């Protein structure tokens, strides 16, 4: 299968154009919309989100990952293999946390180029066609590079910031819940939040944090919106205490 992880949004033509390329060049391969609203222009925040959700997909999946504010510059186009999954996208840190958490990673720069490559839409013109070729077993001209060459050693293993706000107003952090003490208290906007197991552990309108279904520490308000009540947005800082 091919998995889309982008900041393109669902309004406008961009996601549809990418899917049209995949339908033409990889007919019969399922295309899964994972995120079309990854943190816009922010590869670092997106990297922690991608790493949390990618392991749920089977080995052999090909991810088209486009959060690419440097599109058209000299940043390298990449294919990264991590635990048998392939990731196609820009060399801007987007694959750093996937690479770091894998047992074995390999990386290549993409040498193949299409007949037409726009300066501003490599998701459609380069990354989607490469993903289609990989998903259908076709050769793609690429050059081996050390996986360490794409590393961002200054990035933390877990990120104490909000990386995504869902349709309910729940705010996901870049923190793995399993790496936090059981009694950890998260502080945001001068409010201390204790850990719960599920939403009902707080009364209606009450705020808490819990381990979401993909392992991230997530902030929620029972029957309400955490983003509105707590003034949270993508990028907001989180403090871990006890």
pLDDT digits (tens, 9 = 90+) for 133-171: 999 999 999 999 999 999 999 999 999 999 999 999 999
Picking from 18, 11, 168, 145, the residue whose alpha carbon sits closest to that of residue 78 is 145
pLDDT digits (tens, 9 = 90+) for 30-65: 999 999 999 999 999 999 999 999 999 999 999 999
Q: Is pLDDT at 211 greater than 90 in this prediction?
A: yes
Q: Which residues pair with 208 in a beta bridge?
A: 220
> Quick check: 1 and 30 in contact, CB under 8 A?
yes
H helices, E strands: number in the chain: 6, 14
């Amino acid at each position: 299968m091919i998995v889309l992880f982008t900041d393109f949004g669902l309004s406008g033509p961009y996601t549809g154009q990418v899917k049209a390329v995949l339908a033409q060049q990889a007919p019969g391969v399922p295309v899964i919309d994972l995120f079309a609203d990854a943190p816009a222009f922010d590869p670092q925040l997106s990297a922690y989100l991608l790493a949390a959700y990618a392991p749920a997909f089977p080995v052999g999946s090909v991810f088209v990952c486009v959060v690419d504010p440097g599109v058209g510059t000299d940043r390298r186009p990449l294919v990264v293999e991590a635990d048998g999954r392939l990731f196609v996208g820009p060399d801007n840190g987007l694959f750093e946390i996937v690479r770091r958490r894998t047992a074995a990673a390999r990386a290549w720069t993409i040498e193949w180029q299409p007949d037409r490559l726009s300066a501003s839409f490599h998701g459609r013109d380069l990354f989607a066609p490469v993903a289609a070729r990989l998903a259908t077993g076709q050769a793609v001209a690429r050059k081996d590079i050390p996986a360490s060459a794409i590393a961002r050693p200054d990035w933390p293993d877990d990120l104490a910031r909000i990386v995504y706000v869902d349709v309910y107003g729940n705010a996901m952090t870049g923190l793995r819940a399993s790496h936090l003490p059981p009694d950890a208290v998260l502080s945001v906007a001068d409010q201390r939040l204790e850990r719960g197991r599920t939403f009902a552990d707080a009364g209606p309108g009450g705020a808490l944090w819990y381990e979401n279904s993909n392992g991230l520490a997530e902030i929620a308000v029972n029957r309400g919106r955490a983003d509105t009540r707590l003034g949270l947005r993508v990028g907001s800082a989180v403090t871990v205490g006890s």
